[in-house]
């Protein structure tokens, strides 16, 4: 379970870097008029990164836990916002 959490957090930490690549591919495949809006593109990228994390964990021989996968993805995908909120509260 811990491996799933770590792999998902690392995978989803790449959300800002993967977003332009996914947007370009989605635009190529669907056409610019049918491509999702920016919010939908972020959700699509997040889902693809979670899928990739699940496949990596499965390839490592560990049964991926859906809860750990979701929690790790949220921690990795929103780590900048979480860090900023914690630092603001600390002073």
Query: Among residues 55, 41, 49, which one has the least CA distance to residue 79?
Result: 49
What is the structure's pLDDT at 22? Answer: 92
Give the closest residue to 50 by CA, choosing from 8, 2, 1.
8
Average pLDDT over residues 58-66: 90
| In the predicted structure, residue 59 carries a pLDDT above the cut 90 | yes
Per-residue CA distances from 23 to 15, 30, 31, 58, 73 (Å): 12, 10, 11, 27, 19
Instruction: Assess contact for 3 and 49: CB atoms under 8 A.
Output: no
- Mean pLDDT in residue range 48-76: 91
Confidence of residue 84 (pLDDT cuts 50, 70, 90): very high
């Amino acid at each position: 379970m811990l491996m799933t959490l770590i792999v998902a957090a690392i995978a989803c930490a790449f959300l800002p870097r993967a977003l332009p690549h996914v947007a370009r591919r989605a635009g190529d495949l669907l056409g610019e008029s049918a491509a999702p809006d920016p919010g939908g593109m972020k959700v699509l990228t997040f889902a693809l990164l979670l899928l990739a994390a699940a496949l990596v964990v499965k390839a490592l021989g560990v049964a991926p836990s859906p809860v750990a996968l979701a929690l790790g993805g949220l921690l990795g995908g929103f780590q900048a916002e979480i860090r900023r909120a914690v630092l603001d509260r600390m002073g």
